[in-house]
Amino acid sequence: MPLQIDQFMCRSDNFGVLVHDPDTGETAVIDAPEERPILEAVERTGWRPTLLLVTHHHADHVEANLALKERFGLAIVGPAAEADRIPGIDRKVGEGDRIAFAGRDIEVIETPGHTAGHVSYHFPRDRLAFTADTLFALGCGRLFEGKPATMLASLKKLAALPLDTVIYCGHEYTQSNARFALSVDPTNSALKERAKEIDALRAGGRPTLPTRLDVEMATNPFLRWHDPVIRRNLGMEDASDEAVFAEIRKRKDVF
Ligand SMILES: [Fe+2]
C-alpha cells in the first residue's frame, strides 16, 4: 500500500508531517516544530512514531525532539554537519546516506544555504521529498548560513529529481511568495493561474502544500534562473545562473 501522510500546522506557519506505512506500521515524523500539534496528530491518526527526520537546527524544527524521544523512544536522524545543534540525535547523516524505513530507503540530499548543514529527505520509491527550508512552494529559504552559490547548488540537486516528485516544505509562505514571484515573472500564465488557486486555498483556510516539482519548475522563480523572460525582466540576459539567482534572492529579501 502507498505511504499515508498527515500534514498539520505547528506554531504560526510551520508544517508538521507524519509519514505512515500501513503495511509495517512504521511512522516517520519530519521535523519537530512543536510538541502539542504533533501529539494531536499521533492521537488523531493512531500512528505511533518510530523515526524523526530532522532537516536543520533551527528551533522551529527541533523544539520537540527530546519530548518526542522520551515519549515514543523514536530514533532521531539529522545532518552530521550540524549534529551538535540537533537535540537527541542518534544518527548523523550526509549526502547519499540511506535510511531504512518501512522496507524502502530514504535518501539524504545535502541542501545547504539556509543553514550550513541543512539536509532534505528523498523517498525515491514513493516519489516524495521533504525539503523543509531549502525549497518552498514558489520560494526558497533565506540565506542565513550560505552564499547564493551554495543555495543554487542545493536547488539544482532538487531540480534534478523526477518531475512528478511531490514536495513537502517547512512553512506556509506560498501566498506571499506568489506576490513576489509575480513581481519578477508577471507574464507567466501558469504562475498567474497558480496565484489565483493559492488565494482561493488561503481564503478557505486551507494549506497550499504539498506541491510538485514540475509545478515548481514552471512557476517558482528560484528554480527559473535560466528563464529568458525572467532574465530580460531583470536586465540580466547574459548573466551567470548564480548572478541571476543572487539577484532574485536579494530582491525577495527586501520585497
Ligand atoms: Fe529554518
| Ligand 1 center from residue 175 Cα (angstroms) | 18
Q: How far apart, in whole angstroms, are the C-alpha atoms of residue 58 and residue 144? A: 11
Q: Given pLDDT bands bounded at 50, 70 and 90, which one contains residue 246?
A: very high
pTM: predicted TM-score of the whole model, two decimal places? 0.97
Distance CA 96, CA 204 (A): 40
Which residue matches cell numbers 514571484?
Answer: 181
State the pLDDT at residue 104. 97
C-alpha cell at 40: 494531536
Tens digit of each residue's pLDDT (9 = 90 or more) over 188-244: 999 999 999 999 999 999 999 999 999 999 999 999 999 999 999 999 999 999 999
Q: What is the dihedral of CA 180, 184, 185, 186, to 10 degrees?
A: 80
Q: From ligand 1's centre to the CA of 10, what distance in Å?
A: 14
Rounded to the nearest angstrom, the distance between the alpha carbon of 43 and the centre of ligand 1 is 27
Nearest Cα residue to 93 out of 122, 128, 136: 122
Task: Look at residue 28 in the predicted model and tell me its pLDDT.
Answer: 98
Q: How many helices (H) and strands (E) does the chain have?
A: 9, 14
Q: Tens of pLDDT along 107-119? A: 999 999 999 999 9
Share of the chain above pLDDT 70, in %: 100
